[in-house]
Chains A and B, each alone.
Chain A
Amino acid sequence: MRLLGVLMAAALLVSPGAALAQAKPKIGVTLHPYYSFVAHVVGDRAEVVPLIKVGFNVHNYEPQPDDLKRVMDFDALVTNGVGHDAFAAKIVQAAGMDGKLPIIYANDGVALIATAGYEGERKVPNSHTFVSITASIQQLYAIAEGLGKLHPDNAAYYRQNARAFATKLRQLKARYAQRIAGGGDMRIKVATIHGGYDYLLQEFGLEVTAVIEPAHGLSPSASQLRDTINKIKSADVNVIFSEIEFPDQVIDTIRNETGIRVYSFVHISDGPYTKEKFEEAIEYNMKQLTDAVLDVRGQKP
């Protein structure tokens, strides 16, 4: 009995420490690409937790009770911080975590480009830095540095992971750049139906002439669409990049009215949060982009 008592006392002494040693820090993320970035950076030394559930439109998101509970459990939160996840601030504030939760702004060091094609409106920075390779790599390193400051013991490990993933992404980009290198014209005029692809297109030397849809979740009205079709005709674009989620009728109307080829990108904001999501989606986008360039040049693979 006495032995049992001693064992129990020992167990009481040991277990809190053991539990602490095993508890991994919880890193919150706001958007799908950041889930992938952080998952690559932290490896098995932290848990990555999405701040909001799948399936919401992040542009008009209102905090849910579950979000508040979740955010109070975070050790840090990684954000886009340039306009794509303003909902995070609302949640942090509503949970009373303002100033208590360390927030990593992944884009603080990233050079932003102005949103393209918004005629008659004030130019605003484009927040879609995560639909790219170069700006994503910069964010990856910013995340590794930010989390490394919070967990100094893991700083070297985080940096090493960021470097490994950055190398993989650079190689991926090189492979697609190679497809369109050294032959034919890159002066291809492009229209997109969403302003989210400027960073990716710029990396491959393409510029956006027109953006058809000014914001998420807004389908153009008949008169807007007519204006857009006229604009595309007068801008004389060679290719239109749509989104795979965008209504087919709109795209078909544009294709039929203008006779211009249409390719589709993914916005990296749907489906389950996974570590692989970013590289799968960005590779898909680079394939679409390079297919389109080869098509315009008459070199369709």
Chain B
Amino acid sequence: MPPFPQDAMWEGRGRHAWTADRPDYAGGHAVVYLGRSASTKDARTFALVLAHRHPPVPPSKETRDPPREKAEGAAAGPADAFFTVWIHPTGDTPFPPIAKLADLAQAGWKEIVPVRGADAPKGDKK
């Protein structure tokens, strides 16, 4: 699956070397796929971040056997989306330790946010 295979397209678009890392992420887990280009003047650095935070577990009888749906619903948390894509203008940037995803913005990363159908202007939706 693009962008990982080292094919002609990969070569033409900056020869990104991808590494997977599990940085410290307060209260949860994160996996970061970091793509650094071999030609840093043409291509920037990408980070694909999968993060989830565990919900605080209330000390109640639910602790023993929490309902699955509730646990999943709370896991994404209000602040951090589960899957985000980030870009950094310089190629040799290390991925910083993060307590929350907003820390990435402080470190000069920019999140790539897609326009989804729900955001798109549409005359036919109220």
Residues of A participating in the B interface, judged by any CB pair closer than 8 Å: 79, 81-83, 85-86, 88-90, 98, 105-112, 125, 129, 181-182, 184-187, 205
Q: Which of A82, A90, A187, A205 contacts B122 (CB 8 A)?
A: A82
Q: Residues on B close to A: CB < 8 A?
A: 2, 7-9, 12, 114-118, 120-126
Q: Determine the chain A residues whose CB is within 8 A of the CB of B118 once the complex forms.
A: 105, 107-109
Measured in the bound complex, the distance between the Cα atoms of B3 and A186 in whole Å is 13
List chain B residues, Cβ under 8 A from A112: 114-117, 120
Known contacts: A181-B7, A205-B2. The answer to whether A125 contacts B120 by CB under 8 A is yes
What are 29 A-B pairs with beta-carbon distances under 8 A? A81-B117, A81-B125, A82-B117, A82-B120, A82-B122, A83-B120, A83-B122, A86-B123, A88-B124, A89-B124, A105-B118, A106-B117, A107-B116, A107-B117, A107-B118, A107-B120, A108-B118, A109-B118, A110-B117, A111-B115, A112-B116, A112-B117, A112-B120, A129-B117, A181-B7, A185-B8, A186-B8, A187-B9, A205-B9
Name the residue on A nearest B124 (C-beta): A89
Q: Inside 8 A of A182's CB, which chain B residues have their CB?
A: 7
Whole-angstrom distance from the CB of B68 to the nearest CB of chain A? Answer: 16
Smallest Cβ distance from B74 to chain A, in angstroms?
20
Q: Which residues of A contact B114 (CB under 8 A)?
A: 111-112
Which residues of the other chain, A, contact B115 by a CB distance below 8 angstroms? 111-112, 125
Q: By the criterion CB–CB under 8 Å, are B124 and A79 in contact? A: yes
Cα distance A98–B7 in the bound complex, in angstroms: 51
> Which residues from B are CB-within-8-Å of A81?
117, 122, 124-125
B124 near A111: Cβ-Cβ < 8 Å: no
Using A105-B125, A184-B8, A187-B8 as known contacts, list a sample of 11 further A-B pairs with CB atoms less than 8 Å apart, ordered by residue number in A. A81-B122, A82-B117, A83-B122, A85-B124, A89-B125, A109-B116, A110-B116, A112-B115, A112-B117, A129-B117, A182-B7
**How many A-B Cβ pairs are below 8 Å?**
62
CB distance from A153 to the nearest CB of B (A): 19
List residues of chain A with CB within 8 A of the CB of B124: 79, 81, 85-86, 88-90
In the assembled complex, the Cα of A182 lies from the Cα of B120 at a distance in Å of 37
Q: Which residues of B contact A89 (CB under 8 A)?
A: 123-125
Residue of B nearest to A80 (CB): B117
Chain B residues whose C-beta falls within 8 Å of the C-beta of A187 in the assembled complex = 8-9, 12
A40 CB, nearest partner CB in chain B, Å: 20
CA gap between A82 and B124 in the complex, in Å: 8
When distances are taken between beta carbons in the complex, the residues of chain B under 8 Å from A184 are 8
Q: How far is the CA of A81 from the CA of B119 in the complex (A)?
A: 11
Nearest opposing residue in chain B for A108, CB measure: B118
How distant is the Cα of A278 from the Cα of B2 in the complex, in angstroms? 24
A110-B119 Cα distance, complex, nearest whole Å: 10
Name the residue of chain B whose CB is nearest to the CB of A87: B124
Across-interface contacts of A82 in B (CB, < 8 A): 117, 120, 122
Distance in angstroms between the alpha carbons of A107 and B115 in the assembled complex:
11
Of the candidates B12, B115, B121, the one having the most CB atoms from chain A within 10 angstroms of its own CB is B115
The 10 A-B pairs of least Cβ separation, nearest first, read: A107-B117, A89-B124, A111-B114, A108-B118, A186-B9, A187-B12, A185-B8, A108-B117, A125-B120, A86-B124
Which chain B residue lies CB-closest to A98? B126
Docked-complex contact A186 and B122, CB < 8 angstroms: no
Whether B123 pairs with A105 at a CB distance below 8 angstroms is no
